[in-house]
Amino acid sequence: MSTNNAISILLVEDEDFDVARVRNTIRLFSERLHIAEVVSNGRAALELIQKKIDHYDVVILDYQISGGLKGEELIRKIKDVDPCIQIIVITKMTINITDYDFANNLLKAGAFWYCTKYPGNIEEYIYQPTDFLLGIFNAYEKKKLEKHTQRADRRLMQSVESLLEARRLIGDSKPMIQLKEAIEKYAKIDVNVLISGASGTGKELVAWNIHLKSKRKFEKFVPINCGSIPHELIESELFGYEKGSFTGANVPKLGLFEIANHGTVFLDEVSELSPSAQVKLLRVIQDGEIEKIGRTESMSVNVRIIAATNKNLAADVSEGRFREDLYFRLNIVPLDIVPLRQRGEDILLLFDHFLEYFSNDLGVSTPSVEAKAREILLNYRWPGNVRELRSVVQRLVLNCPDKITAKDVSNPMILHSPVLTKDMSSLDEMSGGQVLPLRDMERIFRTRYFKYVRSISSSDSNAAEKLGLAPSNFYRMCKELGIK
Ligand SMILES: Nc1ncnc2c1ncn2[C@@H]1O[C@H](COP(=O)(O)OP(=O)(O)OP(=O)(O)O)[C@@H](O)[C@H]1O
Ligand SMILES: [Mg+2]
């Protein structure tokens, strides 16, 4: 960095005559321009820049210097070390010629500016002095600006990283690993994503992760719950309105799509959108334009849409409640989050994570957890998924300062749904957590068991034999169950 507000210059020039000409050209401004060092080859220049980080503002670089490292290659290497340093190239190669490619290649490599040295008979100056000085001052302004941007970007990056840390997805189960891989992959591609999953499975958390890992991470993430806004207000929430567009519109209103411009909109409970809001949303996706109420010409916006639903949106489409064309536009990448009870050990990982979090939050030491209590947690149905687990832990930390026992956990004030034993939990899984008529349950069991036995048998008749059935009966029953 320049001292005393003088611009610190590294001069890379191997001819004494030209060093003297550069010095003389800037002499009148010696208080503000300081040639900190003169070196005669590229390696020495690069070493200095690497060693004295943030020391030089501008490099004045002769294009043809001795040694292997020079020209565009040297420019690139300098910019790799310090992207903010500005490089002015001087050369006599272009005396009397105009070579656009030459100039272009220098700029592409990262030079700020280049000028053709005066011919040797002009002994005092390297280049028209005022132009040369202006070039250096402009280079310095650009360096300051880039440094400023670099610092601001770093601060933004730090805040993105801390946002990500606070929204870390916990879980090592196979479905979670697959989900995390999908997030990494699709965050980088700017496509719409439809997240499906039961209530409390982490849909909003996943949407945040996609946003914070995408190129839109420095822009806004605007969540909107389509289910919580009355139908007649949803369009003005999403797209805004102009002043005077209807009675009571005394001030213009920005819509959420405008607010999120360049960022991400998270449309939660998307199945709740009214038919006319669906049409307008389709327009945004197809044309990148919003129709603001009371405005004749449309407005361009650039947003990524992440939608979420805890319903079967495909079923809503086939029953005519949701537009098919919109469904396909939103569902470019489908992400399904499985219920917590199907994620095995993740239950305990999340439990320990929240236990530590809430204990820290309360400033108390983390209570120990009885093995039997863990077993109950593992076998519980978790109808409210991770959100339920989180509040269960919160209640436990408040109620059990030292130890969490099986009795504490099975207390109906803690786990609101009935606690199931191991046998019950497999039944529970088979019935999807509902109580079904015996006939339906038998059918589920038969289907699974027939499929299982067939999968470990060499043929249908072999499977029939294992089941103690005549092959014809086995075949008929398979047909009834829809397996054949
Ligand atoms: N894998 C996870 N790791 C850590 N925390 C999680 C995880 N999944 C969910 N959570 C936490 O559980 C709570 C519920 O998550 P979130 O709000 O994202 O669920 P949701 O699917 O959007 O729920 P809803 O359908 O009710 O809107 C949040 O506090 C969230 O931080
Ligand atoms: Mg949600």
DSSP state of 119: P
Torsion sign, CA atoms 427, 433, 439, 442: negative
- Are 190 and 306 in contact by the 8 Å Cβ rule? The answer is no
Q: How confident is the model at residue 2 (pLDDT cuts 50, 70, 90)?
A: very low
**Span between the terminal Cα atoms of the chain, in Å:** 78
198 lines ligand 1 (CB under 6 A): no
Mean pLDDT of the chain: 92
Q: How confident is the model at residue 81 (pLDDT cuts 50, 70, 90)?
A: very high
Q: Is residue 415 over pLDDT 70?
A: yes
Residue 101 CB partners (closer than 8 Å, separation 6+): none
Q: How confident is the model at residue 418 (pLDDT cuts 50, 70, 90)?
A: low
2 lines ligand 1 (CB under 6 A): no
Q: Tokens 């990148």 belong to which residue?
A: 288
Once rounded to an integer, what is the mean pLDDT over residues 237-253? 86
pLDDT at 455: 82
Give the tens place of pLDDT for each residue, 276-315.
Answer: 889 989 998 998 888 888 877 888 999 999 999 999 999 9
Give the tens place of pLDDT for each residue, 332-353.
Answer: 999 999 999 999 889 999 999 9
Ligand lying closest to the C-alpha of residue 167: 1
Mutational pocket test of ligand 1: of 172, 204, 228, 268, the residue with most ligand atoms within 8 Å of the beta carbon: 204
199 lines ligand 1 (CB under 6 A): yes
Q: Is residue 4 over pLDDT 70?
A: no
Neighbour count for residue 5 (Cβ, 10 Å): 8
Once rounded to an integer, what is the mean pLDDT over residues 39-67? 95
Once rounded to an integer, what is the mean pLDDT over residues 61-88? 95
Distance 425 CA to ligand 2 centre (A): 27
279 lines ligand 1 (CB under 6 A): no
Residue 171 Cα: closest atom of ligand 1: 1
Q: Tokens 């369009």 belong to which residue?
A: 235
Q: What is the DSSP string of 205-230?
A: HHHHHHHHTSTTTTS-EEEEEGGGS-
pLDDT at 351: 97
Q: Is residue 411 over pLDDT 90?
A: no
Residue 205 Cα: closest atom of ligand 1: 18
Q: Is residue 5 over pLDDT 60?
A: yes
271 lines ligand 1 (CB under 6 A): no
339 lines ligand 1 (CB under 6 A): no
Percent of all residues in the chain with a pLDDT value above 70, rounded to a whole number:
96
Residue 268 Cα: closest atom of ligand 1: 27
pLDDT at 63: 95
User: How far are the Cα atoms of 344, 414, 481 from residue 407, in angstroms, in the given order?
Assistant: 22, 10, 43
- Are 400 and 367 in contact by the 8 Å Cβ rule? The answer is yes
Q: Is residue 45 over pLDDT 90?
A: yes
The beta-strand segments (E) located in 316-451 are 333-337, 368-369, 403-404
Ligand lying closest to the C-alpha of residue 199: 1
Side chain identity at residue 91, one-letter code: T
Mutational pocket test of ligand 1: of 177, 203, 210, 386, the residue with most ligand atoms within 8 Å of the beta carbon: 386
Q: Enter the pTM of the model.
A: 0.74
Mutational pocket test of ligand 1: of 170, 387, 392, 393, the residue with most ligand atoms within 8 Å of the beta carbon: 387
Give the tens place of pLDDT for each residue, 88-134.
Answer: 999 999 988 899 999 999 999 999 999 999 999 999 999 999 999 99
- Is residue 30 helix, strand or coil? coil
pLDDT at 206: 98
